[in-house]
Amino acid sequence: MKKELLMGTALVSTLGAASVAEAVTASMSGNHQTGIEFDSPTSGTDTSAQINDNNFSVSLSETTDGGMTISSSFKVMDENTKEDYDAGFTLAFTDGSKLDVINAGNASGSHAVSVPGSAGAEGVTVTSTNSAPTGLDFGTASTVLGFEYHTASDFLTDGLKASFSYSTDNGAAPGTTYKVDSHAAIGVTYVTDLGDTAVTIGAGYSDSEGSKTSTRPTADANGTHVGISAVTGDLTVAVGFADGDKIAGDSSTVEVDAEVVKAGVKYVTGDLTFNVGVASGTAQDGTLGTAGTTEDSKDVTSASVSYAVAAGVTAILGYTDVDSGDEGANDTTDGSAWYIGANMSF
């Protein structure tokens, strides 16, 4: 912890020393979630295990005399990477627009509609060669050397926001692992009211190019997605569709042509939140440079009940069932899983 605090102090001091002695404004947030997962594979032995998800983040920001806000953040702990200092800077302008620079991400993924599903931490492991995705933003590859520009609200028309992003490579020669050389993407979100219903439509397109020694894919990473969410009182209903290509595999040696359909419902009543979601993904995958011909599939059904025990404390009961196929054959490593646990956030 001493190392993280020293690093945070150094970063704050660097940003604040430009014109004044005091540090920038810093805030902390995070969560601690822990619970038990019960796995029931289609073939094999039922198992149970403790599942943890712990995150601690520090956000830094300051406003210039001209009204522009400069912000960044870093995460000092999570279950997978232990530390994450990769965030760049965000410049928020007085007209409501903003610019993300360094590791800015992909504008298409930024506008993917959120589709309800289980709030639990359960997961079902399928055959490692199954390339079927279940998210709407699977075709949004980018590099850290780029930017993303976000328009202000009501861009061109009331309720419309848009983003554009671009990134390039680090100049290194192609190696045995596929790497993204450049990307360009655009995303839009439109919000309107239809009577008592708030409707959100999100869509995006991304195109990336990459390279690998002596081998090029038949199609680089790219993708299109569109989704719609409708909120009426305590009820949320959302659907989404995505189609595109991605480069996958442990050494990025598999090219995947895929599509996803998702739908979900969330209902809030008092301290209880009910989530139900379904996702269906299909893909044809092949060795880099060779298009796939047989189909992988993944059909996911999930549900959860969350109860607000106290401020910042939520108890969660979740369930997920996965039916999958790999290279046109039934995948016997799929199955179902339950999760029971609690999340404490601050």
Classified as helix, coil or strand, 323 is strand
Mean pLDDT value of segment 200-218? 88
**pLDDT, tens digit, 9 for 90 and up, residues 251-278:** 667 889 999 999 999 999 999 999 999 9
Q: For residue 7, what pLDDT is reported?
A: 36
291-294-300 Cα angle (round to 5): 110
Q: Do residues 322 and 298 lie in contact, with contact meaning Cβ atoms separated by under 8 Å?
A: yes
Q: Where would I find the H helices in the chain?
A: 2-16, 107-110
With bands split at pLDDT 50, 70 and 90, how would you rate the model's confidence at 22?
A: low
Domain ranges of the chain: 2-345
Q: What are the backbone dihedrals phi and psi of residue 16, each rounded to the nearest 5 degrees, phi first?
A: -85, -15
Per the prediction, the chain carries an average pLDDT of 88
Mean pLDDT value of segment 292-321? 96
Q: What are the backbone dihedrals phi and psi of residue 97, each rounded to the nearest 5 degrees, phi first?
A: -85, 165
Length of the chain: 346
Rounded CA separation 67/72 (Å): 17
Q: Do residues 251 and 101 lie in contact, with contact meaning Cβ atoms separated by under 8 Å?
A: no
Q: For residue 177, what pLDDT is reported?
A: 81
Is pTM beyond 0.75? Reply is yes
Token pair recorded at residue 130: 């199954």
Q: For residue 207, what pLDDT is reported?
A: 95
Token pair recorded at residue 26: 């810093």
User: Check: CATH 2.40.160.10 for 2-345?
Assistant: yes
Q: Considering only the C-alpha atoms of the chain, give the largest distance between any 2 of them, rounded to a whole number of Å.
A: 65
